[in-house]
Amino acid sequence: MGLHHRNLINTLDFSLDEQNGLLGLAQRIIASPAAYGRVLEGRIMASLFFEPSTRTRLSFESAALRLGGQVIGFSEAGSSSAAKGESLGDTVRVVNHYADLIVIRHPKEGAALAASQASAVPVINAGDGGREHPTQTLADLLTIRSVKGGFDGLTVGCCGDLLYGRTVHSLVKNLGRYPGVSFVFISPEELRIPEALRAFLHGRGARYTETRGMEEAMPLLDVLYMTRVQRERFASEQDYLRLKDLYILDGAKLRHGRPDLCVLHPLPRVNEIAPEVDGDPRAAYFEQARYGVYARMALLAMLSGAEPGLPAAGERRSSPRPAKIEIPCQNPRCITSAEPALSPAFYLQDAETRCWCAYCESGVTL
Ligand code: NCD
């Protein structure tokens, strides 16, 4: 750790080789957990959760403890100094003296990036608003790899809230890198996958289709990724109520699925998977939570430098070109709107007439 430490902020921060190495390490930990019981000995992980969580926080804490590390942190913004008006940057600078690694969840988009800029120790994004959730993706990938044997050529259905569902955003970006993976996006018009993500897939030549109908999609799928409608990100409660019950996977719908379908859900579920599905051998969402611990163990071991496989930041590919514009980001959910000390930063897109915010990635036309 130190000047050139690595972070995990975006799901594409690790190259495919690095990621495959991490998944391989996770599988070795599953095979012989005792061999890794002292990997984080003498190290402290801080979990800074400004937004509610059960799985992600507890699975990180469990991962650190299982590696022999120790854990400090808070589980809601109200119990941290943020409630007194402290900036995120200040919180991070202080925690740098207390911990060797920081895991952060925050309701603002780009918060993890902002935290990493203030940090001298590795920062892991455990969810920044509706934007990304890269460690859930590691859990998802480890599950898919274990159940399906690999990724190449898979048809992956994503169903529900594809607009606000950050787990879907990270998963789709990441899986789009593997050869022959295609997607079926199942959602109402209002909760369609964001335009930027569609453009991303297009740019990579990844195939996708969009539909409203779950039944017609079912027989096509190798993996079905169900999601919760993200109530906390809706501007209007009425819209939430109108859309929340659109997709419910029950026994009758599952009958349209292939015998080797793998059903995933990042959890928590509300009602989008009926309990009767839990006993079906195709339901893998509780296993997915188990794999999440091993994926996070591998991540902590690699980011702390205890296990090899992540070259220092300086040796990696160059960053995108900065755009010199003096306007603030217009996205009210962006961390730059909440942290006065952060200067706005934009990157140029290829066309030079569009750029995107370095924090929340929303686009601006020049
Ligand atoms: C997800 C999240 O927080 O984005 N949960 C998780 O981390 N396992 C999904 C959700 O809250 O719906």
- Quick: pLDDT tens for 149-176: 999 999 999 999 999 999 999 999 999 9
What is the pTM for the complete model shown? 0.95
**Residue 357 Cα, ligand 1 centroid: separation in angstroms?**
24
Report how far ligand 1's centroid is from the alpha carbon of 212 (Å). 23
266 in contact with ligand 1, CB cutoff 6 A: yes
Using CA atoms, how far apart are residues 158 and 145, in angstroms rounded to an integer? 17
CB of residue 106 inside a 6 A radius of ligand 1: no
Question: Do 319-366 and 2-132+290-314 fall under one CATH topology?
Answer: no
Mean of per-residue pLDDT scores for the chain: 93
Contact 218, 256 (CB under 8 A): yes
| Other Cβ atoms closer than 10 A to 59 | 24
pLDDT in tens, 191-242: 999 988 998 999 999 999 999 999 999 999 999 999 999 999 998 999 999 9
Could you please state the CATH topology (level 3) that the domain comprising 134-288 is classified under. Answer: Rossmann fold (3.40.50)
Mean pLDDT of 132-147: 98
Range 2-132+290-314: architecture per CATH = 3-Layer(aba) Sandwich (3.40)
Distance CA 156, CA 175 (A): 9
Q: Does the pLDDT of residue 359 top 80, yes or no?
A: yes
If you average pLDDT over residues 283-299, what whole number do you get? 98
Q: Three-state SS for 279? A: coil
| Pairing outcome for strands 123-128 and 101-106 | parallel
Domain 319-366, CATH? 2.30.30
Cα of 324 from ligand 1 centre, angstroms = 35
Q: What is the mean pLDDT of residues 86-113?
A: 97
Give φ, ψ of 105 to 5 degrees: -125, 135
Structural domain spans, the chain: 2-132+290-314, 134-288, 319-366
State the pLDDT at residue 77: 84
Distance of CA 42 from the midpoint of ligand 1 (Å): 30
Residue nearest to atom 8 of ligand 1 (CA): 266
Tell me whether residue 100 is exposed, middle or buried, using C-beta atoms within 10 angstroms of its C-beta: 0 to 12, 13 to 18, 19 or more.
buried
Q: What is the mean pLDDT of residues 247-266?
A: 97
Per-residue pLDDT band for 344 (boundaries 50, 70, 90) equals confident
Model confidence at 315, pLDDT cuts 50, 70, 90, reads low
For 315-329, b/e burial (b = at least 16 CB within 10 A) is: eeeeeeeebeeeeeb
From 49, 125, 137, 267, mutation site for ligand 1 pocket: most ligand atoms within 8 A of C-beta: 267
Q: Whose CA is nearest to atom 11 of ligand 1?
A: 268
Ligand 1 pocket residue status of 19, Cβ below 6 Å = no
- In this predicted structure, which of 84-88, 110-114, 161-165 has the lowest mean pLDDT? 84-88
207: which strand partners?
182
Secondary structure, 3-state, 106-148: ECCECHHHHHHHCCCCCEEEEEECCCECHHHHHHHHHHHHHHH
Atom of ligand 1 nearest to the CA of 53: 3
Average pLDDT value for residue range 250-261: 97
Q: Output the CA 263–ligand 1 centroid distance in Å.
A: 16
pLDDT tens track for 8-38 = 999 999 999 999 999 999 999 999 999 999 9
Q: Which residue has the higher pLDDT, 100 or 55?
A: 100
